[in-house]
Structure 1
Amino acid sequence: MRLHIINSNSDGNCYLFTDNEGNTLIVECGVRFEKIKQALNFDLSRVVGSLVTHEHGDHCKGAKDAVKAGIDVYATVGTIKGLKFESHRLIAIPKGKAFNLGPFSVIAFDTHHDVNEPCGFLIKHEEMGTTLFLTDTIYCDFSFCGLNNILIEANYSQDIIDEKLSGNRFLRNRVIQSHMSIETCIETLKANDLRAVNNIVLIHLSDRNSDAKVFKQRIEDATLKTVSIATAGLTLENFDLLPF
């Protein structure tokens, strides 16, 4: 499995999972669709669909053009209502029940963000095993068994945000009431079974309220796992079930 990160921050989020047969699952459609087409070498024939966690523009701004291009976009009923456009290619998904997109199996679950019906995803594929995708949430209600790879938000540090936004209580409160801190990220990871996890990818870091180098080290120390920071253009060629 190949994981390609088109972007991962408040300007836009988009992740491409491509298996050895060329089947591609788009997770988040939060960049201009032109960027997605470029990343796919303008070949959309093997795209099995796009998952969207919620209605904010940095996660869905490319969705309207995606459906125009013939790509089905999957999201909760609440998110579809929030997108404010209609298409037969907007497909409502159940939470807690598996559905298939080509060779990928997906289960959506509730998260905690400042919109109606946001969700995270468990994504399964024989090449990468089970991957947890968790972003834009204060915390996670669930723990998961048998994880092999994790993409998880580490948006800010409590110390950094207290220092930088001490004079802007509104913005500070908005961040801490809608995003996951590095401290909560560590707690969430420790609450899960990490024995078979090969990769932890930290996503959606704040440009001003995070420190990528420090965050990476903290997660490595806490989990003893391989940790990457999601940056624009990063590709992980061996995002697989087994480490080698």
Structure 2
Amino acid sequence: MKFVSIGSGSKGNSTVITNKNTTIMIDCGFSGKETVSRLKAKGISPEQIDAILVTHEHTDHCKGVATLSRQYALPIYMTHGTARGMKLLKYQYTKIVAGESFQIGDFKIDPICVPHDSNEACQFLVNDQDKRFGILTDLGHVTPHIESAYQQCDSILLEFNHDTELLAKGPYPYSLKKRVGGNLGHLNNNQAANLLQSMDLDRLKNLALSHISEKNNCFKIALETAQNITENTDTTIHTLEQQFGSEWIEVA
């Protein structure tokens, strides 16, 4: 199993996970045309994708979902709340429920409920035999359930959205600062680091820092924060970019 980000940040997010037999996309926050272009840059054709999983209905995660699904007959998996938020209740989709595992090809997928200012947000753990990939972005705080669920990951794509000081001093209006930094907003660097510290770092081989704010964070601060936790481990840290995303990363 391996994964690649085709873009990560407030302007669009999408991650592809694949093995020899199964390929899934988690979120599609770009237009259909741009998504296809970004996929091709990573050596993927839309026809290879077996399903699109949607975490929640915010535009930077779902903008191209319906378009890509229609053009390439791709099944959509999402919660009822997400479908309602996307105004797709009459659209054919597979309803998922947080806490209830489901199978797509080789992958057993665990949807995890997260606190975010959307209708019924969830994130995902993707299991391929004894390997586990976790994706965890767009949540305002880490609950005990989340901490427990993400303990045993071989690789994780984890939100390092903002630095609290940079957010406080940044250009956002107060209402938006309150939203981003609130319990239903986004993880700051320290919150993400605290979750990391609770994980089995002997098992964790890859950490992808994601959804890094261009205005309220910087790659250097996020990277140093993560390195402070993982410095005595074999964990490799990757930083995901808005325009490029990432290279392919093996879930080792």
The reply to whether TM is greater than 0.5 is: yes
Note if 1:228 corresponds to 2:238.
Answer: yes
The number of residues matched between the two structures is 238
Paired residues of 1:105 and 1:123 also in contact (CA < 8 A): yes
Match of 1:94 in 2: 97
1:104 paired with 2:89, answer no
Quick one: which amino acid aligns to residue 151 of structure 1?
L
Match of 1:64 in 2: 66
Q: Distance in 1 between matches of 2:35 and 2:78?
A: 18
Partner of 2:160: 154
**TM-score normalised to the size of structure 2?**
0.87
RMSD: 1.9
Q: 1:2-55 CA distances to partner (integer Å, 9 max, x unpaired)? A: 32221111111011112244x321011111122332314673333111111100
Looking at structure 2, the residues matched to 61 and 81 of structure 1 have their Cα atoms a distance apart, in angstroms, of: 15
CA distance in structure 2 between the partners assigned to 1:43 and 1:158 by the alignment:
39
Alpha carbons 2:12, 2:60 under 8 Å: kept: yes
Match of 1:145 among 148, 151, 155: 151
Aligned to 2:223: 216
> Amino acid of the residue matched to residue 198 of structure 2?
A
Of the structure 1 ranges 74-83 and 232-241, higher mean CA displacement relative to structure 2 is found in 232-241
Counterpart residue number, 1:184? 191
Q: Normalising by structure 1, report the TM-score.
A: 0.90
Separation in structure 2 between the aligned mates of residue 120 and residue 210 of structure 1, nearest angstrom: 22
CA contact (8 A) 1:4 1:233 kept: no
Question: Does residue 50 of the first structure (1) align with residue 57 of the second (2)?
Answer: no
> Partner residue of 1:30?
29
Task: State how far apart, in whole Å, the 2-side matches of 1:238 and 1:9 are.
Answer: 18
Alignment-derived partner of residue 114 in structure 1? 117
After superposition, the Cα gap between the structure-2 partners of 1:189 and 1:214, relative to the gap in structure 1 and judged at 3 Å, is: same
Residue in 1 that maps onto 2:79? 76
State the alpha-carbon separation in 2 of the partners of residues 116 and 162 from structure 1: 27
- What is the letter of the counterpart of residue 68 of structure 2? A
More helix, by proportion = 2
SS of 1:12's equivalent in the other structure is coil
Contact 2:102 2:110 in 1 (8 A): yes
- Do 1:3 and 1:235's aligned partners in 2 also have CA atoms closer than 8 Å? no
Q: How does 1:113-132 map to 2 (within 5 A)?
A: 113-126=116-129, 129-132=131-134
What is the identity percentage for the equivalent residue pairs of Structure 1 and Structure 2?
26
Residue type of the partner of 2:215?
R
Structure 1 residue 73 displacement after superposition: 1.3
1:187 Cα offset (Å): 0.9
Counterpart Cα distance in 2 of 1:211 and 1:124: 31
Counterpart-to-counterpart distance in 2, 1:120 and 1:223:
23
Query: 1:88 deviation in Å?
Result: 4.8
- After TM superposition, give the deviation of residue 190 of structure 1 in Å: 1.3
| Deviation of the 1:239 alpha carbon | 1.6
Shift in Å, 1:176:
0.6
Pair 1:73–1:96, CA change in 2 (3 A): same
Please, which runs of 5 or more residues in structure 2 have no aligned partner?
none
- C-alpha deviation, 1:86, in angstroms: 4.5
The CA distance in 2 between the partners of 1:168 and 1:44, in whole Å, is: 39
Q: Classify the secondary structure of the residue corresponding to 1:151.
A: strand
The residue aligned with 2:3 is 3
CA distance in 2 between partners of 1:31 and 1:170 (Å): 26
Residue of structure 2 in register with 1:202 after alignment:
209
Q: SS at 1:117's partner residue?
A: coil
